[in-house]
Chains A and B, each alone.
Chain A
């Protein structure tokens, strides 16, 4: 690791002030399962690291008038066990898939949502876009994107919890530095949909999320009025902490046996979480059964554009969508 300054503030405002320092490259340290490894490999070389785990207001799950509020520094194991989150099994499904008690104990919600892509070109120091996408196009693309991959970004979004949260209409509360003096002015609050945290970078100066230096996701809010049947289904290569091949989450409103509203979101298939309107439209107005769920899976991948080595992921994505829908509706998925 390169040497760096370190701070562990107690308040969100202090953290934003420390992160906004103009003359420093700053990184947010949450669980550390991703950042510390990236710093050891010198893929990420901050001059200041701000540990946000000591900020009490960013911990825990609570009920508010708007919905259920989850602190971004809450550990995944606490989210999986939270009784307030029992109506949202899609979250616990995704956490169970992480399948390492160490990572579940150490990782935080914010860190999970904003972990860096697992692309092996990025992780070996070739940059996020790996020579404008050329390395992936010419090299081994078996774990890369099957959607939105015609530009330079061909990596896949690594988050496993974003599909569930996006399906549930969750919002992110972002604290931003004050305008005049970023390091000492009172920070400002901004709220956006979790889906709006992500972007597909166009050049090496951009990351895969929209946060600029000093901006901190402090909480995730799952709004009330979204009492939808929901589930996450992952296709994984064996067991253990390895990244899944496809993550799919579905949220369904089922009235009198018919789906009246639906949202289907995938991860590990595109440079950002992939909202499949095609799958949702396919299942709306129909009952959930093997035939309709399979049809939704087929529709989800109809527009897929696989690269040289990842055609197999198209079928896995279709199956993941089918099984996420069946699981959300409480039906046997036919898988594990």
Chain B
């Protein structure tokens, strides 16, 4: 009898697993919302607003964002953050919304090769700049840092992991021979509620031992 119930539960789980994907669902509803928003008139940003003294907004602006080496035409209000554009328009969901004041490092990206929190940066500030996200470290042959995270089981729930991967990559780029103590202090701008710090530090040390690029 008990075995029957277990089987029933297992098959239900399988069904749910095959027919429904949380991320696809979210993407679908997000697209609908975006379509509604875009039906309003949009301003067009000529060139880079980074060098414009004219006042724009608050209505939707069209702008070109260079993310991971590719230009994307996006439409965003002046109050839209870079993080919102990355996640909800460009489907780059690596950077995460965690703290509103960016004190957790969850949305860490590079803007013109300088670290920044996408969640505390406006999208309009980034037009004309080069944005690089954690996705640039993935792909067919991933960077040594995400590979070391896998090797060292350096994640639990995984929500903070992309932020940690960018932070570790940036810290080791600046300090290729970092000691354990330096790594501990260097990645203090990232918080992990599961407490996976020990494995993150092991992963970083593995990258150091294998050379700065593994």
Given A36-B121, A102-B105, residue A49 in contact with residue B78 (CB < 8 A): yes
Given A101-B167, A102-B117, residue A6 in contact with residue B78 (CB < 8 A): yes
Given A3-B79, A6-B57, A241-B188, residue A101 in contact with residue B120 (CB < 8 A): no
- CA separation between A62 and B187, bound complex, in Å? 30
B36 CB–A CB distance under 8 Å: no
- CA separation between A5 and B122, bound complex, in Å? 12
* Chain B contacts for A34, CB-based, 8 A: 101
Q: How far is the CB of B213 from chain A (nearest CB, A)?
A: 19
Q: Across the two chains, which residue of chain B brings its CB closest to A34?
A: B101
Q: How far is the CB of B64 from chain A (nearest CB, A)?
A: 15
The digit string for B75-117, where 1 denotes a CB below 8 A from any CB of A, is: 0011101000000000000000000111101001000001111
Given A99-B188, A100-B188, A240-B191, residue A33 in contact with residue B53 (CB < 8 A): no
Q: Across the two chains, which residue of chain A brings its CB closest to B59?
A: A3
B32-65 residues with Cβ-Cβ distance < 8 A to A are: 49-58
Given A32-B120, A37-B120, residue A75 in contact with residue B101 (CB < 8 A): no
Which single member of A40, A102, A241 contacts B116 (CB below 8 Å)? A102
Instruction: Please tell me if the beta carbons of B102 and A8 are within 8 angstroms of each other in the complex.
Output: no
A213 CB–B CB distance under 8 Å: no
Which single member of A1, A11, A14, A100 contacts B189 (CB below 8 Å)? A100
A72 CB–B CB distance under 8 Å: no
* Chain B contacts for A148, CB-based, 8 A: none
Instruction: Please tell me if the beta carbons of A102 and B54 are within 8 angstroms of each other in the complex.
Output: no
B185 CB–A CB distance under 8 Å: yes
A137 CB–B CB distance under 8 Å: no
Q: How far is the CB of A9 from chain B (nearest CB, A)?
A: 4
Instruction: Please tell me if the beta carbons of A37 and B100 are within 8 angstroms of each other in the complex.
Output: yes
Which single member of A36, A48, A54 contacts B51 (CB below 8 Å)? A54
Q: Across the two chains, which residue of chain A brings its CB closest to B111?
A: A106
* Chain B contacts for A75, CB-based, 8 A: 114
The digit string for A97-112, where 1 denotes a CB below 8 A from any CB of B, is: 0011111011000000
- CA separation between A9 and B48, bound complex, in Å? 12
Q: How far is the CB of A155 from chain B (nearest CB, A)?
A: 17
* Chain A contacts for B189, CB-based, 8 A: 99-103, 240-241
* Chain B contacts for A2, CB-based, 8 A: 79
A10 CB–B CB distance under 8 Å: yes
Q: How far is the CB of A255 from chain B (nearest CB, A)?
A: 36
Given A2-B79, A37-B100, residue A102 in contact with residue B108 (CB < 8 A): yes
A41 CB–B CB distance under 8 Å: yes
Instruction: Please tell me if the beta carbons of B117 and A106 are within 8 angstroms of each other in the complex.
Output: yes
A206 CB–B CB distance under 8 Å: no
A64 CB–B CB distance under 8 Å: no
Q: Across the two chains, which residue of chain A brings its CB closest to B104?
A: A241
Which single member of A3, A8, A32, A100 contacts B50 (CB below 8 Å)? A8
* Chain B contacts for A39, CB-based, 8 A: 79
B202 CB–A CB distance under 8 Å: no
B125 CB–A CB distance under 8 Å: yes
Q: Across the two chains, which residue of chain A brings its CB closest to B109?
A: A102
Of the listed residues B51, B54, B56, B115, the one surrounded by the most CB atoms of chain A closer than 10 A to its CB is B115
Which single member of B50, B105, B188 contacts A239 (CB below 8 Å)? B188
* Chain A contacts for B167, CB-based, 8 A: 101-102
A176 CB–B CB distance under 8 Å: no
Q: Across the two chains, which residue of chain B brings its CB closest to A49?
A: B78
A51 CB–B CB distance under 8 Å: yes
A7 CB–B CB distance under 8 Å: yes
B170 CB–A CB distance under 8 Å: yes
Instruction: Please tell me if the beta carbons of A18 and B188 are within 8 angstroms of each other in the complex.
Output: no
A53 CB–B CB distance under 8 Å: yes
A4 CB–B CB distance under 8 Å: yes
- CA separation between A237 and B167, bound complex, in Å? 22
Q: Across the two chains, which residue of chain A brings its CB closest to B79?
A: A1
B186 CB–A CB distance under 8 Å: yes
Which single member of B56, B79, B100, B114 contacts A7 (CB below 8 Å)? B56
A81-108 residues with Cβ-Cβ distance < 8 A to B are: 99-103, 105-106
Instruction: Please tell me if the beta carbons of B50 and A5 are within 8 angstroms of each other in the complex.
Output: no
Q: How far is the CB of B123 from chain A (nearest CB, A)?
A: 10
B124 CB–A CB distance under 8 Å: yes
Q: How far is the CB of B32 from chain A (nearest CB, A)?
A: 22
Given A3-B77, A5-B58, A6-B124, residue A100 in contact with residue B105 (CB < 8 A): yes
* Chain A contacts for B159, CB-based, 8 A: none
Provide a sorted-by-A list of 23 A–B residue pairs whose CB atoms are within 8 angstroms: A3-B57, A3-B78, A6-B57, A6-B78, A8-B50, A32-B122, A32-B125, A36-B81, A39-B79, A49-B78, A49-B122, A100-B103, A100-B105, A100-B189, A101-B187, A102-B102, A102-B105, A102-B115, A103-B103, A103-B189, A106-B116, A106-B117, A241-B189
Q: Sorted from nearest, which 10 A-B pairs have the closest CB atoms?
A: A100-B189, A3-B58, A37-B101, A9-B53, A6-B78, A105-B115, A1-B79, A36-B120, A102-B189, A99-B188
